[in-house]
Amino acid sequence: MKRILPGWRGLTQLFAVTVLPLTLLLLFIAFGGVNMHQQDMRTLVGERDERAVQSAAAALQSELHHRMATVSSMAVLASEDISFKDIFATTTDLAKDFNGGIAFLNTDGHLIEKTGNDRFWGWVSQNSRSVKLASSSSPQFVFSDPTLDPNSNQLFVIISAYSDSRDVIVAGAFSPETLASETLTPTYPAGSHVTIYLLDNSRRILFVSGALERESLDADHPGVAEALAGRSGVLYVKKEATEHVVAYSPIETAGWALITEEEWEMVISPSLQLTQMAPLVMVPAFILALIAIWFGAKQIVQPLQKLESKAAALAWGDFEAIKESVGGISEVQHLQMELTEMSRKVQAAQEGLHDYIGAITSAQEEERARLARELHDDTIQAVIALKQRVQLAQRSVKDQNGKQSLKELENLAEQTIENLRRLTRALRPIYLEDLGLVTALEMLAREISQVNSLIVDFQKTGNERRLSREVELSLYRIAQEALNNVAKHSGATRADLSIRYSDSEITLMISDNGHGFVAPASPTEFAPNGHFGLLGIHERADLIGARLGIESTQGQGTRIEIRL
């Protein structure tokens, strides 16, 4: 080692004095300008999209005001001594914006006269209680929720106003999809990279167009909550290897939101083709760097690779792996010594943390049991009593509509009771206490299958034996958390839950055929990557001295194995 170190010192000095500064200088020249240009273009695209979405929202707002003015004109004409058919005959030009037609209805929702979609207005008249319409006590204009025409399967929005002189409701129906398509095409022509979403106040998509279109948006999709709250702006959202610009603006008249989304790199890539060739001047510097790397591979890179694998094992709790020497230069050996000392301290701290986590877990289970008892003894009994009162009320009600309403209330109470019982079973697994782990896991698989569109197959191998209450409860909670993750996030249609008993160990395995994910390299990455379910599984496995294994491949599913 004494003969080798002087050579390495000279190589290090050569690398530090010549290759490294030259490489850094060329990196700064080549990529500095490109990065600055990208940032400027990123801001420019965001500002452009924000102005465009505000302009488009204003255009939609103007179109809605125009339709409101049409309804207002019809209401004014209705106050005069003119027949409804004559009103329709004199307002042909005004009514052309309502592709669903215009109708006059009385305050009970019965159809008086209409033009256009006859079957749709007949359906509206029959279901007037479920369609939001104007009344004598409502504001001047009322926008209904998007209503699906059962005949054409097309969504319509109804604008209505009340005319007090003749005690009638004027209502006009239009397709929000047609409105958006006609209004937004000048701002967002066909072939652009921008995806447009028009949503109502319940987050239902009324219109979508573009390369990134989807049938529904997540509840936490950027910009949706802000636009529905009446704000406009722009957000930059990381999605996989790209960054999207999300612009949003409200349409306050109807309580809608307009969202646009695009990859801003798609806009700037053509303009950067020439500047991105600048890194070619770095070829000589890279050749020198490669020579230096080749010389240092056996004494630096290979030992560091061995140390990396041992550090990864250390991250998963193998404190003995780091103690085996990896060789290499003195700096690598010193690093290994520091890691060994660190592992000793972490091991000591972890032993103390186990007791604390165990106490928290125990308190959590006690609180779940208390909540389960309160739900069973108080809440469920109260809902059962409510259901019985509804049944008694049904006997005394003669009106058929009243009986139907009470029947619906009874069904709702029955569903609430079933949901509360399912929640109680999830909080306090009674099968586990009375019949053991195998029966509890089998019932868990059956219940997950019933509640979700997921087939869960349960298998037991070997002779079952009762374990301590803490071990059985931990294994049950691990299976419960894993299956819930499969049902919510994996997109799987099938999952397998199995437990195998042998003389020396017990193995619990959960696998699915979902889309999989990139498995974290160590438990320290669970929380930063949002895998809080896996973090809970790891902590429970660690508390009972079990080993956790995770295998997942994108597009090929996931398998979790716990060995005790």
CA–CA gap between residue 295 and residue 147 (Å, rounded):
73
Q: Is 57 helix (H, G, I), strand (E, B) or coil?
A: helix
Q: What is the pLDDT of residue 358?
A: 59
Number of domains comprising the chain: 3
Whether residue 274 is predicted with pLDDT greater than 70 in this model: the reply is: no
87 band by pLDDT with thresholds 50, 70 and 90: confident
Q: Is 41 left (phi over 0), alpha (psi -120 to 50) or beta?
A: alpha
What is the chain's mean pLDDT, rounded? 79
Cβ neighbour number for residue 232 with a 10 Å cutoff: 17
What would the two tokens of residue 174 be?
């239009």
CB 131 within 8 A of CB 149: no
Q: Which residue has the higher pLDDT, 277 or 333?
A: 333
CA–CA gap between residue 34 and residue 31 (Å, rounded):
5
Element (H, E) at 356: helix 330-374
- For 133, counting Cβ atoms within 10 Å of its Cβ (0-12 exposed, 13-18 middle, 19+ buried), the class is buried
CA–CA gap between residue 540 and residue 527 (Å, rounded):
15
Residue 311 sits in the same domain as residue 442:
no
Q: Work out whether strand 154-163 and strand 168-174 pair parallel, antiparallel, or are unpaired.
A: antiparallel
Q: What is the pLDDT of residue 270?
A: 55
Average confidence (pLDDT) over 122-130 = 84
Element (H, E) at 169: strand 168-174
Q: In what order do the strands lie in the sheet with 547-553?
A: 455-461, 494-501, 506-512, 557-563, 547-553
- Mean pLDDT check: name the lowest of 255-259, 373-377, 404-408, 552-556: 373-377
Residue 207 sits in the same domain as residue 317:
no
251 band by pLDDT with thresholds 50, 70 and 90: very high
CA–CA gap between residue 324 and residue 207 (Å, rounded):
62
* 196 is a domain residue: yes
Average confidence (pLDDT) over 372-390 = 76
The contacts of residue 481 (CB under 8 Å, 6+ apart) are 533, 536, 537
Average confidence (pLDDT) over 252-272 = 78
The contacts of residue 149 (CB under 8 Å, 6+ apart) are 100, 117, 119, 120, 123, 155, 156
The contacts of residue 38 (CB under 8 Å, 6+ apart) are 268, 272
Give the type of residue at 351.
Answer: E
* 285 is a domain residue: no
Residue 412 sits in the same domain as residue 437:
no
CA–CA gap between residue 562 and residue 546 (Å, rounded):
6
Q: What is the pLDDT of residue 78?
A: 78
Q: Long-range pairs for 154-160 at CB < 8 Å and ≥24 separation?
A: 155/206, 156/100, 156/120, 157/254, 158/100, 158/124, 158/131, 158/132, 158/133, 159/64, 159/67, 159/68, 159/71, 160/71, 160/133, 160/134
- Boundary-marking domain end, from 411, 428, 445: 428
- Mean pLDDT check: name the lowest of 241-250, 265-274, 513-522, 537-546: 265-274
Residue 518 sits in the same domain as residue 441:
yes
- Measured CA distances, 18 to 43, 45, 214, 300, 530 (Å): 37, 40, 53, 20, 43
231 band by pLDDT with thresholds 50, 70 and 90: very high
Percent of the chain with pLDDT over 90: 11
Q: What is the pLDDT of residues 466-497, one digit of tens each?
A: 888 788 888 888 888 888 888 888 888 899 99
Residue 126 sits in the same domain as residue 231:
yes
* 268 is a domain residue: yes
Verdict on whether the full-model pTM lies above 0.75: no
Q: Which residue has the higher pLDDT, 417 or 235?
A: 235
* 16 is a domain residue: no
- Measured CA distances, 430 to 384, 427, 476, 508, 532 (Å): 21, 9, 12, 20, 26
Q: Which residue has the higher pLDDT, 141 or 322?
A: 141
Residue 337 sits in the same domain as residue 198:
no
Domain that holds residue 454: 431-564
Residue 466 sits in the same domain as residue 343:
no
* 10 is a domain residue: no
* 547 is a domain residue: yes
Cβ neighbour number for residue 158 with a 10 Å cutoff: 27
- Boundary-marking domain end, from 428, 462, 491: 428
Distance of CA 224 to the CA centre of its chain: 13
CB 30 within 8 A of CB 279: yes
Whether residue 148 is predicted with pLDDT greater than 70 in this model: the reply is: yes
What would the two tokens of residue 97 be?
């914006």
* 197 is a domain residue: yes
- Boundary-marking domain end, from 386, 411, 428: 428
What would the two tokens of residue 30 be?
């080549």
Q: Work out whether strand 455-461 and strand 494-501 pair parallel, antiparallel, or are unpaired.
A: parallel
The contacts of residue 15 (CB under 8 Å, 6+ apart) are 289, 292
Per this entry, what is the length of the chain?
A: 564
Percent of the chain with pLDDT over 70: 79
Q: What is the pLDDT of residues 413-434, one digit of tens each?
A: 888 887 877 777 666 676 677 7
CA–CA gap between residue 171 and residue 121 (Å, rounded):
10
CB 251 within 8 A of CB 64: yes
CATH number at residue 562: 3.30.565.10
Residue 437 sits in the same domain as residue 407:
no
Average confidence (pLDDT) over 248-258 = 92
* 61 is a domain residue: yes
Residue 421 sits in the same domain as residue 436:
no
- For 304, counting Cβ atoms within 10 Å of its Cβ (0-12 exposed, 13-18 middle, 19+ buried), the class is buried
Residue 102 sits in the same domain as residue 66:
yes
Residue 450 sits in the same domain as residue 423:
no
What would the two tokens of residue 421 be?
């019982």
Q: What burial letters (b/e) apply to 332-348, b meaning 16+ CB within 10 Å?
A: bbebbeebbeebeebee
Give the phi and the psi of residue 401 in degrees, each rounded to 5: -65, -40
Residue 422 sits in the same domain as residue 499:
no
405 band by pLDDT with thresholds 50, 70 and 90: confident
